[in-house]
Chain A
Amino acid sequence: MQNKLSFHQTSASLEIIGLPDYSNNENKDQISIISQWKLTIVDKPLIEGKIEHLGPIMDAFYIYSNLLIKNETPIYESKLIDIKADNLHIHNIVLKSSKPNVNPLNIKIGNTSLSDTINCFDQLNESSKVRIKKTVVSNYIPKKGRFGLNSKVKFLNFIMPPFIAIFSLILCSSTFIYFYNPIEDKEKNELINPE
C-alpha cells in the first residue's frame, strides 16, 4: 500500500505518492521512494510525473521566480520544461513529455497560481514526512551563492595580474644577467698586464 501526501495552497495542490524506505527503519507514514507526483492548478490540466521529473520542475519554478524578482530576463529553458513571461501577469509554461510522439503541454498561469505553486513546493521541501534526494533541493541555490563561471573569472582576474607582473620581471631582468666568461676575463687581464 502506497502512502499519499498532499500539500495545498489556495489554487494549487501537490500530491506525492510513494513508499517509506524500510531499510532505513523509517516510519510507515514516511515517503522516501517517490513513485508518482501530481500537481493540480485550478482550471489547468493536471501535471504529473515520476521522481526524475519532480526535481527539474521544482528547480525550474524556483529559478524562474528568482529571475522574475531580480529584474533579469525571466526565461527558463530545459529539456523538460520552459517557462517565460508573456507579460507582467501571465507566465507561459511548456511541459515537454519524455515519451515519444507526445505533444508539449502549454499552460498559461498568473502570478497568483505561480506563487501558490511555489508555496506548495516550499511545503514539500519543509515536510519531514517526505524525503527527496538532495539534488532536488541543492540545485535551488540563489545566484548569489553559486560558485560558477563568474567566480572562476573573478578568481582568474585576481591571480593573473601579479603572475604576469612577476613573469615579465623575470623575462626582462634575465636579459641583463651577467654570465661570467673566464676566456673574456683572461683577455682583459692580458690587455691590462701585457707582460
Chain B
Amino acid sequence: MPNKVTIWKLRNNNPLRKSYVSTNIKLNEFDALIRITVEMSKYLYPYIREILKSKENIEENSVIWNDFNKRFIELIKERFNIDSMRVKKLLNQDENDEIIIKSLLVLSFCISNQGYQKLKNFL
C-alpha cells in the first residue's frame, strides 16, 4: 500500500458502496486489506470489547451500544447504496444486531499475531 489514496480506492471494490468501481482486486491487495483490518482491530480491541459488553448488559449500560449503532447506521446511509437489499438488511434495526455482533466478534478473535490467518479463514 503506497499511500492512503490506494486504500481509499481499494475500499471502492465493495459492491455495497455508492462509489462502487468494478475493478478486479489483486490477491496481494486483498491480503493487505486483511492485514490492515487485523492491525486496526488490535488497536481498537478495548473499544470493540466495550461495545460488546454494553450490548451484554444493555439494561445497565446501553449508552455505548446505542452510540455505536447510531453511528454505524449513519455511516451506512452516507456511504452505502441504500437501494441494495443487503444494505437494507444492515439498516434494519431488528436484523442488524446479529450482523454487528458477529462482525465485532470476528474482529475480537483476530487480534493475535496469527490474526491475519484467522481472519482469512473466517472470510
Is B a genuine binding partner of A?
Answer: yes
Task: Point out residues on A near B: beta carbons under 8 Å.
Answer: 10, 65-66, 68-71, 88-90, 110-112, 114-116, 118-119, 122-123, 125-126, 142, 144-145
Tell me whether A122 and B56 are in contact (CB under 8 A).
Answer: no
Q: What A residues does B56 contact at CB under 8 A?
A: 89-90, 110-112
Is B122 an interface residue when CB atoms closer than 8 A count as contact? yes
* CB-contact partner of A69 in B53, B97, B109, B113, under 8 A: B109
Chain A residues near B122 (CB-CB < 8 A): 66, 69-70, 142
Q: Mark B44-88, 1 if CB is under 8 A from A, else 0.
A: 001001001101100000000000000000000000000000000
Q: Chain B contacts of A68 at CB under 8 A?
A: 102, 105
A142 touches B53 (CB 8 A): no
Question: Which residues of B have CB within 8 Å of A144?
Answer: 121
Bound form: Cα–Cα A89–B115 in Å: 22
CB distance from B13 to the nearest CB of A (A): 23
Alpha-carbon separation in the docked complex, A115 to B97 (Å): 18
List the count of A-B residue pairs having beta carbons below 8 Å apart: 62
**Contact status B52-A112, CB under 8 Å:** yes
Return the chain B residue nearest A115 by Cβ. Answer: B108
The list of the 7 closest CB pairs from A to B, nearest first, reads A122-B112, A115-B108, A142-B121, A110-B56, A111-B52, A89-B56, A112-B53
Q: Is B111 an interface residue, CB under 8 A from the partner? A: yes
Specify which chain B residues have a CB less than 8 angstroms from the CB of A118 in the assembled complex.
Answer: 109
Q: Could you list some 28 contacts between A and B, CB below 8 A?
A: A10-B49, A68-B105, A69-B102, A71-B102, A88-B97, A88-B101, A89-B55, A89-B56, A89-B101, A90-B56, A110-B52, A110-B56, A111-B55, A111-B108, A112-B53, A112-B56, A114-B105, A115-B105, A115-B108, A115-B109, A119-B108, A122-B111, A123-B112, A125-B114, A126-B112, A142-B121, A142-B122, A144-B121
Q: Does B106 contact A (CB under 8 A)?
A: yes
Across-interface contacts of B121 in A (CB, < 8 A): 142, 144-145
Task: Give Cα A126–Cα B114 distance, bound, in whole angstroms.
Answer: 8
Residue from A66, A69, A112, A114 whose CB has the most chain B CB atoms within 10 Å:
A112
The complex places the Cα of A112 from the Cα of B107 at a distance, in Å, of: 12
User: Chain A residues with Cβ under 8 A from B112's Cβ?
Assistant: 119, 122-123, 125-126
In the complex, A122→B117 CA distance in Å?
Answer: 12
Bound Cα distance from A112 to B65, whole angstroms: 14
- Give A74 to B94 CA distance when docked, in angstroms: 21
CA–CA, A126 and B104, complex, Å: 23
